[in-house]
Amino acid sequence: MTAYNFTTTLHPWGPEHGEIGIDPTALYGYFERKDGSEGGGLWFERTEAGSLELSDFDGSACLPSYVTRTLRAAGFIVSPDFE
């Protein structure tokens, strides 16, 4: 079993409603609402400049827009293809 170290935690809905967690070393993250209504995995690739770029996700047919906006605001690269 892989042990992740989610050093980045973001709260697009406020901390009482859910979170986005990212382990930059494993290039993996997740998003989840505490009520269980939405959630999934996030996979990243490291760019030549060292930034993390979203490469894939699962858990829903479309990546929720608030996840996209929150990742971008935190400095992650998210292609318009995920919108």
**What total of structural domains would you count in the chain?**
1
Mean pLDDT of successive 10-residue stretches along the chain, which has 83 residues: 87 84 96 87 96 94 90 96 88
DSSP state of 48: T
45 lies in some domain: yes
| The residue count for the chain | 83
Q: Is residue 83 part of a domain?
A: no
- Asked, for residue 74, whether it belongs to a domain, the answer is yes
pLDDT of residue 1: 60
Identify the domain containing residue 73 by its residue range. 8-78
**Within its chain, how far is the Cα of 21 from the centroid?**
6
**Can you tell me the distance from the alpha carbon of 47 to that of 67, in angstroms, rounded to the nearest whole number?**
20
The reported pLDDT for the residue numbered 33 is 86
In a domain, 38, yes or no: yes
